[in-house]
Amino acid sequence: MMVRNRSLIRRLLTVDLPMLAVLAFTLAPYLWMALTSITEKSRLFTEGPSLAGATLANYTRLFNTVGFGTNLIDSFIVAGGTVIVGLSLSVTAAYAFSRFRFRGRRLMMLQFLLVNMFPLVLLILPLFILMKTLGLVDTYLALIIANSTVAIPFSVWMMTSYIDAIPRSLDEAAMTDGCTRLGALRRVILPLCMPGIIATAVYIFITAWNEYLYALTLGGRNVKTITVAIQTLIGEYEVEWGLLTAGGIIGAMPATVMFLFVQKRLIAGMTQGAVKG
pLDDT category at 263 given cuts 50, 70, 90 is: low
Q: How confident is the prediction for the chain on average, in pLDDT?
A: 82
Dump pLDDT digits (tens) for 87-135. 999 999 888 888 888 887 788 888 777 777 777 778 888 888 999 999 8
> Topology of domain 66-274, per CATH?
MetI-like fold (1.10.3720)
> Residue 146 pLDDT more than 70?
yes
Specify the pLDDT at position 3: 60
Amino acid letter, 57:
A
Instruction: Decide if pLDDT at 275 tops 80.
Output: no
Measure the N-to-C terminal CA separation of the chain; round to a whole number of Å. 45
Percent of the chain with pLDDT over 70: 91
pTM greater than 0.85 (yes/no): no
CB neighbour list of residue 127: distance below 8 Å, 6 or more residues apart = 146, 149, 214, 217, 218
Q: According to the model, what pLDDT value does residue 73 have?
A: 92
Kindly report, residue by residue over 57-89, the tens digit of the pLDDT. Answer: 888 888 887 778 888 999 999 999 999 999 999
Q: What is the pLDDT of residues 126-136, one digit of tens each?
A: 888 999 999 88
Q: In angstroms, rounded to a whole number, what is the distance separating the alpha carbons of residues 51 and 62?
A: 20
CA–CA separation, 38 and 36 (whole Å)? 6
State the pLDDT at residue 264: 64
Burial class (CB in 10 A: 0-12, 13-18, 19+), 117: exposed
Q: Which pLDDT score is estimated for 31?
A: 87
Name the band, by pLDDT with cuts 50, 70 and 90, for residue 140. very high
**Torsion of the alpha carbons at 63, 216, 73 and 159, rounded to the nearest 10:** -140
Is the pLDDT reported for residue 274 higher than 50?
Answer: no
Residue 147 has pLDDT above 70, yes or no: yes
pLDDT at residue 55 tops 80: yes
pLDDT by residue (tens digit) across 199-215? 889 889 988 998 888 99
pLDDT for the residue 103: 82
Q: What is the Cα gyration radius of the chain? A: 24
Q: Judge contact between 204 and 151, C-beta under 8 A.
A: yes
b/e per residue, 29-63, with b = 16+ CB within 10 A? eeeebbbbbbbbeeebeeeebeeeeeeebbbebbe
SS (H, E, C) 211-273: CCHHHHHHCCCCCCCHHHHHHCCECCCCECHHHHHHHHHHHHHHHHHHHHHCHHHHHHHHHHH
Residue spans per domain, the chain = 2-44, 66-274
